[in-house]
Protein backbone atom coordinates (compact mmCIF):
# COMPACT_ATOMS: atom_id res chain seq x y z
CA UNK A 1 0.00 0.00 0.00
CA UNK A 2 1.14 3.55 -0.72
CA UNK A 3 0.36 6.14 1.96
CA UNK A 4 0.65 9.93 1.81
CA UNK A 5 0.79 11.87 5.09
CA UNK A 6 0.39 15.66 5.08
CA UNK A 7 1.57 17.00 8.42
CA UNK A 8 2.86 20.29 9.75
CA UNK A 9 6.28 18.76 10.27
CA UNK A 10 8.03 15.43 10.43
CA UNK A 11 11.53 16.68 11.20
CA UNK A 12 10.66 19.25 13.90
CA UNK A 13 8.97 18.58 17.23
CA UNK A 14 9.52 22.13 18.53
CA UNK A 15 6.14 22.80 20.18
CA UNK A 16 4.78 20.13 17.84
CA UNK A 17 3.86 16.98 19.72
CA UNK A 18 2.02 15.56 16.72
CA UNK A 19 5.42 14.79 15.18
CA UNK A 20 5.89 12.07 17.83
CA UNK A 21 2.89 10.01 16.72
CA UNK A 22 3.48 10.69 13.02
CA UNK A 23 6.99 9.28 13.24
CA UNK A 24 5.84 6.16 15.06
CA UNK A 25 2.99 5.48 12.64
CA UNK A 26 5.20 6.08 9.60
CA UNK A 27 7.87 3.70 10.92
CA UNK A 28 5.30 1.01 11.70
CA UNK A 29 3.80 1.27 8.22
CA UNK A 30 7.27 1.01 6.71
CA UNK A 31 8.07 -2.00 8.90
CA UNK A 32 5.09 -3.77 7.37
CA UNK A 33 6.30 -3.07 3.86
CA UNK A 34 4.10 -0.09 2.98
CA UNK A 35 5.48 2.90 1.08
CA UNK A 36 5.10 6.15 3.02
CA UNK A 37 5.38 9.65 1.59
CA UNK A 38 5.39 12.53 4.08
CA UNK A 39 4.75 16.11 3.00
CA UNK A 40 5.40 19.23 5.07
CA UNK A 41 5.48 22.95 4.25
CA UNK A 42 8.92 24.33 3.45
CA UNK A 43 8.69 27.16 5.98
CA UNK A 44 6.54 25.58 8.67
CA UNK A 45 6.17 27.40 11.98
CA UNK A 46 7.67 24.62 14.10
CA UNK A 47 10.68 24.00 11.87
CA UNK A 48 11.35 27.72 11.50
CA UNK A 49 11.41 28.17 15.28
CA UNK A 50 13.64 25.13 15.75
CA UNK A 51 16.19 26.34 13.20
CA UNK A 52 16.15 29.85 14.64
CA UNK A 53 16.71 28.60 18.18
CA UNK A 54 18.90 25.52 17.67
CA UNK A 55 20.43 25.74 14.19
CA UNK A 56 20.69 22.81 11.79
CA UNK A 57 22.21 20.26 14.21
CA UNK A 58 18.81 18.93 15.44
CA UNK A 59 17.85 18.18 11.84
CA UNK A 60 21.03 16.17 11.37
CA UNK A 61 20.38 14.38 14.68
CA UNK A 62 16.83 13.59 13.55
CA UNK A 63 18.02 11.88 10.38
CA UNK A 64 20.51 9.81 12.36
CA UNK A 65 17.75 8.76 14.78
CA UNK A 66 15.20 8.05 12.00
CA UNK A 67 17.25 7.01 8.97
CA UNK A 68 14.19 5.77 7.06
CA UNK A 69 12.03 8.87 7.46
CA UNK A 70 12.17 11.78 5.03
CA UNK A 71 9.93 14.71 4.22
CA UNK A 72 9.05 16.17 0.86
CA UNK A 73 9.01 19.93 1.42
CA UNK A 74 6.55 21.95 -0.62
CA UNK A 75 5.29 25.45 -1.24
CA UNK A 76 1.50 25.51 -1.18
CA UNK A 77 1.26 27.73 -4.24
CA UNK A 78 3.23 25.30 -6.40
CA UNK A 79 2.28 21.93 -4.89
CA UNK A 80 1.34 19.49 -7.68
CA UNK A 81 -1.24 17.20 -6.10
CA UNK A 82 -1.52 14.99 -9.17
CA UNK A 83 2.16 14.16 -8.73
CA UNK A 84 2.11 13.98 -4.93
CA UNK A 85 -0.89 11.64 -4.88
CA UNK A 86 0.01 9.58 -7.92
CA UNK A 87 -0.56 5.90 -7.13
CA UNK A 88 -1.57 6.61 -3.53
CA UNK A 89 -3.97 4.23 -1.77
CA UNK A 90 -4.45 6.20 1.44
CA UNK A 91 -3.91 9.87 2.35
CA UNK A 92 -4.14 11.48 5.81
CA UNK A 93 -4.19 15.25 6.25
CA UNK A 94 -3.52 16.59 9.72
CA UNK A 95 -5.53 19.37 11.36
CA UNK A 96 -2.46 21.62 11.75
CA UNK A 97 -2.36 22.37 8.03
CA UNK A 98 -3.35 25.38 5.97
CA UNK A 99 -7.11 25.33 5.26
CA UNK A 100 -6.35 25.88 1.58
CA UNK A 101 -4.26 22.68 1.49
CA UNK A 102 -7.11 20.81 3.21
CA UNK A 103 -9.58 22.15 0.64
CA UNK A 104 -7.38 21.41 -2.36
CA UNK A 105 -6.72 17.81 -1.33
CA UNK A 106 -10.44 17.31 -0.73
CA UNK A 107 -11.22 18.68 -4.19
CA UNK A 108 -8.57 16.42 -5.72
CA UNK A 109 -10.13 13.42 -4.01
CA UNK A 110 -13.59 14.32 -5.31
CA UNK A 111 -12.30 14.17 -8.86
CA UNK A 112 -9.90 11.24 -8.48
CA UNK A 113 -11.54 8.84 -5.99
CA UNK A 114 -8.61 6.48 -6.41
CA UNK A 115 -7.62 6.55 -2.75
CA UNK A 116 -9.08 6.85 0.73
CA UNK A 117 -8.75 10.28 2.35
CA UNK A 118 -8.96 11.14 6.06
CA UNK A 119 -8.68 14.34 8.08
CA UNK A 120 -6.76 13.77 11.32
CA UNK A 121 -7.56 15.92 14.38
CA UNK A 122 -5.32 15.79 17.45
CA UNK A 123 -6.10 19.15 19.05
CA UNK A 124 -8.67 20.86 21.24
CA UNK A 125 -9.53 23.57 18.70
CA UNK A 126 -12.74 21.80 17.69
CA UNK A 127 -14.06 22.79 21.14
CA UNK A 128 -12.07 25.94 21.91
CA UNK A 129 -11.93 27.52 18.43
CA UNK A 130 -14.94 26.07 16.66
CA UNK A 131 -15.29 28.97 14.24
CA UNK A 132 -11.80 28.50 12.82
CA UNK A 133 -12.27 24.73 12.59
CA UNK A 134 -15.56 25.20 10.76
CA UNK A 135 -13.58 26.94 8.02
CA UNK A 136 -12.01 23.62 7.00
CA UNK A 137 -13.76 22.20 3.95
CA UNK A 138 -14.04 18.46 4.55
CA UNK A 139 -16.67 17.72 1.94
CA UNK A 140 -14.20 15.77 -0.20
CA UNK A 141 -12.99 13.56 2.66
CA UNK A 142 -14.04 10.01 3.43
CA UNK A 143 -14.05 10.82 7.13
CA UNK A 144 -12.20 12.06 10.18
CA UNK A 145 -9.74 10.34 12.51
CA UNK A 146 -10.30 11.91 15.94
CA UNK A 147 -7.91 11.29 18.80
CA UNK A 148 -10.63 10.92 21.37
CA UNK A 149 -14.32 10.19 21.70
CA UNK A 150 -15.02 13.76 22.83
CA UNK A 151 -13.48 15.14 19.62
CA UNK A 152 -15.48 12.65 17.55
CA UNK A 153 -18.67 13.77 19.25
CA UNK A 154 -17.99 17.44 18.41
CA UNK A 155 -17.53 16.65 14.72
CA UNK A 156 -20.74 14.64 14.58
CA UNK A 157 -22.78 17.16 16.59
CA UNK A 158 -21.66 20.09 14.41
CA UNK A 159 -22.15 18.18 11.19
CA UNK A 160 -18.56 18.66 10.06
CA UNK A 161 -18.34 15.03 8.94
CA UNK A 162 -20.70 12.08 8.69
CA UNK A 163 -17.98 9.53 9.41
CA UNK A 164 -15.68 9.98 12.40
CA UNK A 165 -13.54 7.27 13.96
CA UNK A 166 -11.73 7.42 17.29
CA UNK A 167 -8.00 6.97 16.71
CA UNK A 168 -6.04 7.65 19.86
CA UNK A 169 -2.36 8.52 19.92
CA UNK A 170 0.07 5.88 21.17
CA UNK A 171 3.71 5.23 22.02
CA UNK A 172 6.39 4.25 19.54
CA UNK A 173 7.74 1.38 21.65
CA UNK A 174 10.69 0.90 19.33
CA UNK A 175 11.89 4.19 20.79
CA UNK A 176 10.15 4.43 24.17
CA UNK A 177 11.28 1.61 26.41
CA UNK A 178 13.11 1.28 29.75
CA UNK A 179 16.84 1.98 29.72
CA UNK A 180 18.54 0.20 32.60
CA UNK A 181 21.56 1.11 34.72
CA UNK A 182 21.51 4.83 34.09
CA UNK A 183 22.93 7.07 36.84
CA UNK A 184 20.22 9.23 38.36
CA UNK A 185 20.49 13.00 37.86
CA UNK A 186 17.46 13.94 39.90
CA UNK A 187 14.14 12.99 41.41
CA UNK A 188 11.43 14.41 39.13
CA UNK A 189 11.52 15.41 35.47
CA UNK A 190 8.69 17.12 33.61
CA UNK A 191 8.72 17.47 29.84
CA UNK A 192 6.20 19.92 28.44
CA UNK A 193 5.68 23.37 26.99
CA UNK A 194 4.52 26.23 29.17
CA UNK A 195 2.78 28.53 26.64
CA UNK A 196 -0.77 29.74 26.10
CA UNK A 197 -1.85 30.03 29.75
CA UNK A 198 -3.79 26.77 29.33
CA UNK A 199 -2.33 25.15 32.45
CA UNK A 200 -0.24 27.80 34.21
CA UNK A 201 -2.12 27.56 37.48
CA UNK A 202 -2.10 23.77 37.31
CA UNK A 203 1.66 23.75 36.80
CA UNK A 204 2.09 25.91 39.86
CA UNK A 205 -0.22 23.84 42.04
CA UNK A 206 0.77 20.34 40.92
CA UNK A 207 4.46 20.78 40.11
CA UNK A 208 6.19 23.96 41.19
CA UNK A 209 4.84 24.15 44.74
CA UNK A 210 5.22 20.41 45.55
CA UNK A 211 8.81 20.51 44.29
CA UNK A 212 9.51 23.61 46.35
CA UNK A 213 7.90 22.07 49.42
CA UNK A 214 9.71 18.74 49.14
CA UNK A 215 13.03 20.34 48.20
CA UNK A 216 13.68 17.59 45.69
CA UNK A 217 15.92 17.79 42.65
CA UNK A 218 13.80 18.47 39.57
CA UNK A 219 14.21 19.55 35.96
CA UNK A 220 11.79 20.90 33.35
CA UNK A 221 12.23 20.61 29.59
CA UNK A 222 10.20 22.42 26.95
CA UNK A 223 9.72 25.64 25.04
CA UNK A 224 7.61 28.79 25.17
CA UNK A 225 8.51 29.52 28.79
CA UNK A 226 8.07 33.27 29.34
CA UNK A 227 10.67 35.07 31.49
CA UNK A 228 8.33 35.16 34.49
CA UNK A 229 7.86 31.38 34.29
CA UNK A 230 11.61 30.78 34.15
CA UNK A 231 12.08 33.05 37.13
CA UNK A 232 9.36 31.23 39.04
CA UNK A 233 10.67 27.71 38.47
CA UNK A 234 14.26 28.68 39.22
CA UNK A 235 13.11 30.33 42.47
CA UNK A 236 11.60 26.94 43.37
CA UNK A 237 14.98 25.26 42.79
CA UNK A 238 14.00 23.66 39.49
CA UNK A 239 16.54 23.31 36.67
CA UNK A 240 15.43 24.30 33.18
CA UNK A 241 16.78 22.23 30.31
CA UNK A 242 15.15 24.03 27.37
CA UNK A 243 14.04 22.23 24.22
CA UNK A 244 14.56 18.47 24.17
CA UNK A 245 14.38 16.39 21.00
CA UNK A 246 11.70 13.77 21.51
CA UNK A 247 13.97 10.86 20.62
CA UNK A 248 16.16 11.89 23.59
CA UNK A 249 13.27 11.62 26.06
CA UNK A 250 13.71 7.92 27.01
CA UNK A 251 17.32 8.62 27.99
CA UNK A 252 16.17 11.50 30.19
CA UNK A 253 13.39 9.46 31.80
CA UNK A 254 15.97 6.81 32.68
CA UNK A 255 17.99 9.38 34.66
CA UNK A 256 15.11 10.50 36.88
CA UNK A 257 12.99 8.66 39.41
CA UNK A 258 9.52 9.83 38.38
CA UNK A 259 7.60 12.18 36.12
CA UNK A 260 4.21 13.92 36.00
CA UNK A 261 1.33 14.49 33.60
CA UNK A 262 -0.33 17.91 33.80
CA UNK A 263 -3.14 18.07 31.20
CA UNK A 264 -4.10 21.32 29.56
CA UNK A 265 -7.39 22.73 30.82
CA UNK A 266 -9.42 22.07 27.62
CA UNK A 267 -8.77 18.33 27.97
CA UNK A 268 -10.27 18.38 31.44
CA UNK A 269 -13.13 20.85 30.96
CA UNK A 270 -14.14 20.67 27.29
CA UNK A 271 -12.78 17.39 25.89
CA UNK A 272 -12.55 14.93 28.78
CA UNK A 273 -10.89 11.58 28.37
CA UNK A 274 -8.00 12.59 26.10
CA UNK A 275 -4.45 12.17 27.42
CA UNK A 276 -1.50 13.81 25.74
CA UNK A 277 1.04 11.63 23.99
CA UNK A 278 3.52 12.38 26.78
CA UNK A 279 1.51 10.09 29.06
CA UNK A 280 1.75 7.17 26.62
CA UNK A 281 5.48 7.75 26.19
CA UNK A 282 6.18 7.97 29.92
CA UNK A 283 4.36 4.73 30.66
CA UNK A 284 6.12 3.00 27.77
CA UNK A 285 9.44 4.08 29.29
CA UNK A 286 8.48 2.52 32.65
CA UNK A 287 9.00 5.65 34.72
CA UNK A 288 6.62 6.08 37.69
CA UNK A 289 3.99 8.69 36.86
CA UNK A 290 1.76 10.97 38.92
CA UNK A 291 -1.08 12.81 37.16
CA UNK A 292 -3.01 15.95 37.93
CA UNK A 293 -6.75 15.22 37.66
CA UNK A 294 -8.11 14.14 34.29
CA UNK A 295 -11.12 11.91 33.62
CA UNK A 296 -10.19 8.66 31.88
CA UNK A 297 -13.72 8.40 30.51
CA UNK A 298 -12.71 5.98 27.76
CA UNK A 299 -11.04 3.55 30.18
CA UNK A 300 -7.71 3.68 28.39
CA UNK A 301 -5.75 2.99 31.56
CA UNK A 302 -6.06 1.74 35.12
CA UNK A 303 -5.61 4.75 37.42
CA UNK A 304 -3.95 3.71 40.66
CA UNK A 305 -2.13 0.83 38.95
CA UNK A 306 -0.72 2.45 35.79
CA UNK A 307 -0.18 5.82 37.47
CA UNK A 308 -1.27 7.71 40.56
CA UNK A 309 -3.75 10.59 40.47
CA UNK A 310 -3.46 13.66 42.69
CA UNK A 311 -6.63 15.69 43.18
CA UNK A 312 -4.81 18.63 44.78
CA UNK A 313 -1.38 20.11 45.16
CA UNK A 314 -1.19 18.74 48.70
CA UNK A 315 -1.99 15.24 47.45
CA UNK A 316 0.58 15.59 44.68
CA UNK A 317 3.18 16.43 47.33
CA UNK A 318 2.20 13.34 49.31
CA UNK A 319 2.25 11.00 46.30
CA UNK A 320 5.59 12.26 45.03
CA UNK A 321 7.07 11.72 48.48
CA UNK A 322 5.54 8.24 48.60
CA UNK A 323 7.05 7.17 45.28
CA UNK A 324 10.46 8.55 46.20
CA UNK A 325 10.46 6.74 49.56
CA UNK A 326 8.75 3.48 48.52
CA UNK A 327 10.80 1.97 45.72
CA UNK A 328 8.85 -1.34 45.45
CA UNK A 329 5.59 0.59 44.89
CA UNK A 330 7.27 2.82 42.33
CA UNK A 331 8.64 -0.20 40.45
CA UNK A 332 5.28 -1.97 40.45
CA UNK A 333 3.50 1.13 39.18
CA UNK A 334 6.01 1.58 36.36
CA UNK A 335 5.82 -2.09 35.35
CA UNK A 336 2.02 -2.10 35.25
CA UNK A 337 1.93 1.08 33.20
CA UNK A 338 4.34 -0.30 30.63
CA UNK A 339 2.37 -3.55 30.40
CA UNK A 340 -0.80 -1.58 29.65
CA UNK A 341 0.98 0.25 26.82
CA UNK A 342 2.32 -2.98 25.34
CA UNK A 343 -1.14 -4.58 25.45
CA UNK A 344 -3.20 -1.68 24.08
CA UNK A 345 -1.41 1.51 23.14
CA UNK A 346 1.50 1.05 20.73
CA UNK A 347 1.84 2.47 17.24
CA UNK A 348 1.45 -1.11 15.99
CA UNK A 349 -2.00 -1.21 17.61
CA UNK A 350 -2.91 2.07 15.94
CA UNK A 351 -1.80 0.86 12.50
CA UNK A 352 -3.98 -2.22 13.00
CA UNK A 353 -6.88 0.10 13.83
CA UNK A 354 -6.18 2.32 10.84
CA UNK A 355 -6.19 -0.59 8.42
CA UNK A 356 -9.42 -1.87 9.92
CA UNK A 357 -10.99 1.57 9.48
CA UNK A 358 -9.97 1.58 5.82
CA UNK A 359 -11.30 -1.93 5.36
CA UNK A 360 -14.59 -1.10 7.08
CA UNK A 361 -14.99 1.96 4.88
CA UNK A 362 -14.40 -0.13 1.78
CA UNK A 363 -17.09 -2.55 2.94
CA UNK A 364 -19.47 0.32 3.73
CA UNK A 365 -19.00 1.92 0.34
CA UNK A 366 -19.24 -1.40 -1.42
CA UNK A 367 -15.80 -1.16 -2.97
CA UNK A 368 -15.19 -3.86 -5.55
CA UNK A 369 -11.47 -3.65 -4.89
CA UNK A 370 -10.41 -5.87 -2.00
CA UNK A 371 -7.22 -3.93 -1.26
CA UNK A 372 -5.20 -7.11 -1.09
CA UNK A 373 -2.18 -5.02 -0.17
CA UNK A 374 -3.74 -4.36 3.24
First to last CA, the chain: 7
- Calculate mean pLDDT across residues 346-367: 92
d(CA 235, CA 246): 27
Sorting pLDDT into bands at 50, 70 and 90, what band is 264?
confident
How does pLDDT run across 45-61, given as a tens digit for each residue? 999 999 999 999 999 99
Angle 267-268-270 (CA atoms, 0-180°, nearest 5)?
70
Which residues, listed in sequence order, are joined to residue 192 by a DSSP beta bridge?
Answer: none
**Least confident stretch, 252-261, 341-350, 359-368:** 359-368
What is the average per-residue pLDDT within 355-370?
Answer: 79
For position 129, what pLDDT does the model report? Answer: 84
Start-end of H helices in the chain = 18-31, 45-54, 57-65, 81-84, 99-112, 125-128, 130-134, 149-158, 200-203, 209-214, 227-235, 249-253, 266-269, 277-284, 313-325, 327-344, 347-364
Least confident of 78-82, 92-96, 273-277, 290-294: 273-277
Taking 70 as the threshold, does the pLDDT of residue 78 lie above it? yes
Confidence of residue 366 (pLDDT cuts 50, 70, 90): low
Say yes or no to pLDDT of 369 above 50.
no
User: Quick one: pLDDT band at residue 368, thresholds 50, 70, 90?
Assistant: very low
How many residues would you count in the chain? 374
This prediction's pTM:
0.94
Do residues 11 and 67 touch, judged by C-beta distance below 8 A? Answer: no
Find residue 2's DSSP bridge partners: 35
pLDDT of residue 371: 44
| Residue 374 pLDDT class (50, 70, 90 cuts) | very low
Average pLDDT score over the chain = 94
320-346 residue pLDDT tens: 999 999 999 999 999 999 999 999 999
In the chain, % of residues over pLDDT 70: 98
Please write the tens of the pLDDT for every residue from 297-325.
Answer: 999 999 999 999 999 999 999 999 999 99
Q: Which of 159-168, 236-245, 271-280, 345-354 has the lowest mean pLDDT?
A: 271-280
Please say if the pLDDT value at position 95 is more than 90: yes
Amino acid sequence: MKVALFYHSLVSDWNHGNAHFLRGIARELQRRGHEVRIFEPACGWSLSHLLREQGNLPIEDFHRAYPGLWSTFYELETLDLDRALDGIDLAIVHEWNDPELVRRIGAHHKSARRYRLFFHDTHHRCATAAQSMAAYDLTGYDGVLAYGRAVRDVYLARGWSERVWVWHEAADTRLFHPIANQPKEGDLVWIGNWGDEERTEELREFLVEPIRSLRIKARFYGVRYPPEALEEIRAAGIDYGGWLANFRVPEVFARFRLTAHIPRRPYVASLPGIPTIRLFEALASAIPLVCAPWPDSENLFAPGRDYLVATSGAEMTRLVRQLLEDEPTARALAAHGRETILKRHTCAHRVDELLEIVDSLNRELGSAERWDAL
